Amino acid sequence: MSARKTILLLFAFSLHLTFCASTQNKAARNTEKDPQYQYEKAIVAMKYNLIDQAIEYLNQALALDSGHYESYNLLGLAYFEKKNYAEAASAYQKCLELRPGVSEVHSNLGFVYEKLGQVNKAEEEYKKSYAIDSNANASFNLARLYLKQNNLSLALDCVQKSIEKNGSLSAAHNLRGVILNQMGRYPEAIESCQNALRLSPNDINLSVNLGIAYINNKEFAKARELFEKILPKVQDQALKDKITEYLNLIRE
């Protein structure tokens, strides 16, 4: 190959590299202007608990497309994680303005309202969520709300609906056990707590609730055996003291 041909080939290769670099830079600039790309970066940031970074990406996405409802939904979660409940509520409200029929967002907004102490609004959002698709989270949250208000019959009805919709939620079985325990229906409470433990066998709090139900049902030997088994595993000192208190009560 002559020197001239070699020079021409090298020149052509150089042009090709320059063109590729220019194309890649242009593609990168176009990607940065894509709201979905900013949203996906926020998802990754949330995964690694980089909440402030996620909020920055989501605000960029919404600056590019104010109708990007997924970004408002994730922004609500990000602000919730920062305990900025007012901003979380605002984000979820904007999301629902764009997509009013998303049951999950209604339920999330209801939970934020609870944190803000706006119980009536929380109940309204949970009911809207449940009306859309009878989802288990909405009925579970309603049950929690009614339990706090000591409306036990309504709480039991709601948690039962949650279990019927999704029987794999240990928290729902546990809540049912707590409600039944307060209603004095101890054998049923025991059964519900046992169901919860079968789903989450390493959850200490579920074991404690089962032990309390055993005590209330005067099954003291079972309660003692359970409390003695879990006591060495308890890290929280306040809970450890409470279990010790229960054990002393049983021995007396």
pLDDT in tens, 238-249: 999 999 999 998
| Each residue's pLDDT tens digit, 39-52 | 999 999 999 999 99
Is 17 among the domain residues? no
- Domain ranges, residue 178: 167-252
Listed residue (142, 137, 136, 104) closest to 122, CA to CA: 142
In a domain? residue 2: no
**3-state SS class at 190:** helix
Taking a C-beta distance cutoff of 8 angstroms, is the pair 209, 181 a contact? yes
Domain assignment present for 156: no
Q: Which residue has the tokens 């208000």?
A: 149
- Could you tell me which residue, 10 or 81, shows the higher pLDDT? 81
Q: Which tokens belong to 74? A: 């994730």
> What tokens does 5 get?
């041909």
Confidence of residue 15 (pLDDT cuts 50, 70, 90): low
Give me the CATH number covering residue 51.
1.25.40.10
**Nearest-angstrom CA–CA distance, 71 and 75:** 6
Residue 100 maps to a domain: yes
Residue 14 lies in a domain: no
What mean pLDDT is predicted for residues 25-33?
62
Assess if residue 149 is contained within a domain: no
Say how many domains are in the chain. Answer: 2
Question: CB of 91 within 8 A of CB of 79?
Answer: yes
Q: Which of 214, 176, 180 lies closest to 195 in space, CA to CA? A: 176
**Across residues 106-115, what is the average pLDDT?**
97
Per residue in 224-235, pLDDT (tens digit) is 999 999 999 999
| pLDDT of 14 higher than 90 | no
